[in-house]
Amino acid sequence: MTAATDIALLSEEMGKVSKAIDGALGRILPTSEGHEAQLFEAMRYASLAGGKRLRPFLVLASASLFDVPTERSTRVACALECVHTYSLVHDDLPCMDDDDLRRGMPTTHKKFDEATAVLAGDALLTYAFEILSDPETHHDPLVRAELVHALAKESGGHGMAGGQMIDLLAADHEMDIGEVTRLQQMKTGALIRFAVEAGGIMGRATRDQFHALQNYAHDLGLAFQIVDDLLDVEGSEEEMGKAVGKDADGGKATFVSLLGIERARTQADMLASQAVVHLDIFDDRAELLRLLPHFVVNRRH
């Protein structure tokens, strides 16, 4: 079990990372005086709206296993956050999930317009690869090329974008637990996997270390998503007085609709413990990564 002081330590560290990433994104995102300025404003608007910055935290924590300098891991964390932000901007579009609000603020297409939101997402995705391939990110071109390759694989058709496609069509299919797991490993798991792998790529991890990180990311990503489904159901009950299982009634299978609340909760806890075990081959520098899974399954938002 994790002591309260450990969780307090982790919370504090996550808060620091979140602030540092806000600052770093503000500095690294491009600006322009030309007629295209609106595009850059939209990129900034979407990227600087706060958020937990879980993925950047994972990049920094995994990089610190190998004593990678923070300036480098921060740039990689910013690149990843650009991709995460682009995915939110496009997912919020009227033709996708059609959301007007995100974190209590108008979504990018509401604040600007749809065309600007599409382009801002495109430009954020593109900019992520510009950051990663820049010699400032890492002096070794092999590391830069490997970071680009890993991020492209995890966010493309076989990763995040493919997951979003499955999700959009999910109401048309009966999905079993295996298919929901695959969907979530693509849609949300893929960027979590990149976040953890990035430290290993920058730090030239051994094969065993790299596999340990991948297994950790796998379990953490699933635990994260199961808790998301749980919070969705629990949130709905409190806020809207709706019955448990509304997603299932709406035709979309989730971990909770398939497993029920109790088994889903048990599964998340089990995955969190399992994630930590994968880190056994690392030393004390893995402390934050060890604390995170418990924090993730016990979060309330």
Cβ atoms 54, 217 nearer than 8 A: no
Member of 11, 16, 69, 142 binding a second copy (CB under 8 A): 142
Cβ atoms 271, 226 nearer than 8 A: yes
Ranges within 35-94 binding a second copy (CB under 8 A): 35-36, 38-40, 43, 86, 90, 93
Instruction: Outline where 188-245 has alpha helix (H).
Output: 189-202, 207-240
For position 295 contacting a second copy by CB under 8 A, the verdict is no
Member of 12, 15, 69, 158 binding a second copy (CB under 8 A): 158
How near is the Cβ of 133 to a second copy at its closest, in Å? 4
How near is the Cβ of 150 to a second copy at its closest, in Å? 9
For position 291 contacting a second copy by CB under 8 A, the verdict is no
Q: Which stretch binds a second copy (CB under 8 A): 2-10, 177-185, 198-206, 277-285?
A: 177-185
Residues 6 or more apart whose CB falls under 8 angstroms from that of 225 comprise 184, 188, 189, 255
For position 114 contacting a second copy by CB under 8 A, the verdict is yes
For position 108 contacting a second copy by CB under 8 A, the verdict is no
Member of 20, 119, 248, 258 binding a second copy (CB under 8 A): 119
How near is the Cβ of 38 to a second copy at its closest, in Å? 6
Q: Site size for a second copy, by CB under 8 A?
A: 61
Member of 10, 14, 17, 123 binding a second copy (CB under 8 A): 123
Nearest to 183, CA basis, from 258, 275, 265, 93: 258
Nearer to a second copy, 59 or 183 (CB): 183
Member of 16, 173, 263, 285 binding a second copy (CB under 8 A): 173
**Alpha carbon distances (Å) from 133 to 129, 139, 149, 155:** 6, 10, 10, 16
Member of 23, 26, 30, 69 binding a second copy (CB under 8 A): 30
Member of 51, 56, 163, 293 binding a second copy (CB under 8 A): 163
The structure tokens listed for 29 are 């995102």
Buried/exposed code over 266-282 (b: 16+ C-beta within 10 A; e: otherwise): ebbbebbebbbebbeeb
Q: Angle 184-188-192 (CA atoms, 0-180°, nearest 5)?
A: 125
**Alpha carbon distances (Å) from 171 to 18, 88, 187, 231, 254:** 35, 20, 16, 21, 11
For position 203 contacting a second copy by CB under 8 A, the verdict is no
Nearer to a second copy, 178 or 241 (CB): 178
Nearer to a second copy, 133 or 214 (CB): 133
Instruction: Outline where the chain has alpha helix (H).
Output: 4-28, 37-47, 54-64, 70-91, 108-111, 114-132, 141-155, 160-168, 177-187, 189-202, 207-240, 246-249, 255-259, 261-277, 287-297
**Binding residues for a second copy (CB under 8 A):** 30, 32, 34-36, 38-40, 43, 86, 90, 93, 95-96, 113-116, 118-119, 121-123, 125-127, 129-130, 132-135, 140-142, 144-146, 148-149, 151-153, 155-158, 161-166, 168-170, 173, 179, 182-183, 186
